[in-house]
Chains A and B, each alone.
Chain A
Amino acid sequence: MSEIPRFSRVLIANRGEIALRIQRACRQLGLETVAVYSEADADSRHVHEADIALCIGPAAAARSYLDADGLLLAARLTGAQAIHPGYGFLSENADFADAVAAAGLTFIGPTGASIRMMGDKITAKRAMRDAGVPCVPGSDGPLPADMDAVKAIALQVGFPVIVKASGGGGGRGMRVVEREADLAQAVTLTAKEAQQAFGNPTLYLERFMQKPRHIEIQVLCDTHGTALWLGARDCSLQRRHQKVLEEASAPGIAPETIAEIGERCAEACRRIGYRGAGTFEFLYEDGVFAFIEMNTRVQVEHPITEETTGIDIVAGQLRIAQGEPLGIAQPDIPLLGHSIECRLNAEDPFTFMPSPGTITRWDLPGGPGIRVDTHVVAGYTVQPYYDSLIGKVISHGATRAEAIARMQVALAEMKVEGVSTNIALHRDLLADPDFRRGGVDIHYLERWLARRTAP
């Protein structure tokens, strides 16, 4: 179908479970892999399995996984023609994507221009609104310098409002304002913080949704005009803006509603010429979707979408980067059953402090509908330098109840010794009546944890 492939050797610019996940997809497609790693990850599984492995720096990410120049040099030295950035690190760095392309290599992801557009929350929101993607009512652009004008906008949007930094994200650079009287001070303070943290004092303002759920739509787009949506994920169980447990599809939201929003996301991708995998994140409350941001990369929770659609998203990214057409249409995509992902972290289940150390026992669950994505093996040492994700247990069932039951058995089977993990937290959550009913909001887990630790 496709002519000469653009690349036959892929440099994986990441570590941990996602590096192994990308490597598997490459190998299944007959592509060679280059593992670049920091000194701390020398004993990682994907490093051993790689066709070429090269230590590119010390443990500090700035001198290894975040060293854009070093990664490009490593690609040149190892003969890799493509770079997969995974998630985190340089995956949403527009300059890096541009530099990879300028070096004559293939960046496995969207163009730098797409990443840049989505990285700025104001331009992203404007592009989405133009494309018919619903957005939360707000200032529709940067806040004016005149405080009376800001007040007029806030009154029109309706209190409570949230003031956000255009360059912010991940829960940083934002402030909730309940009353008009507090607005001026909040705007001044947030602008000052935004200038310090992001080098950009530009702010915007939105209606603050009180008890929303986090619903996101996975998209996959080729370079031949096909843009597909792959169903929705509910990632409302979060602690400090970090997702803990995700599920697909979103309980209690009608498939027709998801289909309508999904189609708008796909249409937005067609309009901006988006390429590769991406995720549209929404807040959802009282039947209203409000776009928050688009992630221009593969996400940690991509497996639950793979389970419910049967589509290998990472292989899809690689094929799209080769210039191949997706070869399927929206009606070909099934949404089968229900899937849950539990993120396993090496951390204290009560204090959430990271728990680095050597894993002495690592008994994995199995059976129908259970998948484990992990780079960990018994004897592996969890490093203190990076995030504490040690794996993901993914369950799939014909129904949500079956997916929950399979996950409960899987977590009961799972035995980890040597480090503390959050497995007990997941077990408790899966047994929680509100979770089992489905549809809890993004603040639920924080409230639940506060209740748990209360005397």
Chain B
Amino acid sequence: MNNRPEQLVPPFDRLPEPEQIAQMATWLAQAGLDSLELTNAAAGLKLRIRVGQAAPVPPAAQAAPPQADAGAGRVAVTTPYFGHLCLTHPLRDAPFAPAGTRVAQGDVVALLTLDSLQVPVTAPVAGMVVDVVGQPGALVGYGAPVLHIQPD
């Protein structure tokens, strides 16, 4: 039986997709484990997944559909869930995507933190970040605008 553990956890050179985090949390819960921590010091990444007894599995967050009504062809990046908005990675000094940054489709541009859970906010399109409207640390709801991207 081909039972290679590296297939379970994706290569940790970037934050996993929300679906992958949800899958890992499900495996943890099924295995009766309560937490998993991944660290990649070189890339400055650290991910801790914790599932309690009746703790909710992180939502299978789906990127909200791109909203192209942000004016001048801009696309608003909106939150795929609710939580405290985090514009800067907890282990880094620089924000994910300040105004003027180029982002690729699927890049993590912010995080939502819900206690020990973190839900990535990803760019729906590639382009240039033109402004950031989300307030760091604020409790934001589903679908709240975080920043605007001028698509390529």
Contact = CB atoms under 8 A, between A and B. Distances in A.
Interface of A: 39, 53-58, 64, 67, 69-70, 72-74, 76-78, 99, 102-103
B82 A77 contact: yes
Contacts, number: 49
B56 A54 contact: no
A53 B139 CA distance: 10
Nearest to B56: A69
Nearest to B53: A102
Contacts of B56: 69-70, 72-73
Contacts of A77: 82-84, 114-115, 139
A56 B142 contact: yes
Given A54-B82, A55-B142, A77-B114, 13 more contacts: A53-B141, A54-B139, A55-B82, A55-B143, A55-B144, A56-B82, A56-B142, A58-B142, A58-B143, A73-B56, A73-B117, A74-B82, A76-B115
Nearest to A98: B54
B130 interface: no
A58 B80 CA distance: 9
A78 B115 CA distance: 11
Interface in B88-141: 114-115, 117, 139, 141
Contacts of A53: 141
Nearest to B59: A70
Looking at chain B, what size class is its interface with the partner chain? 10 to 19
B63 interface: no
25 contacts: A39-B143, A54-B82, A55-B82, A55-B141, A55-B142, A55-B143, A57-B82, A57-B142, A58-B142, A58-B143, A64-B142, A67-B59, A69-B56, A69-B57, A69-B59, A70-B56, A72-B56, A73-B114, A73-B117, A76-B115, A77-B115, A77-B139, A99-B54, A102-B53, A102-B54
A74 B115 CA distance: 11
Contacts of B54: 99, 102-103
Interface string B15-54: 0000000000000000000000000000000000000011
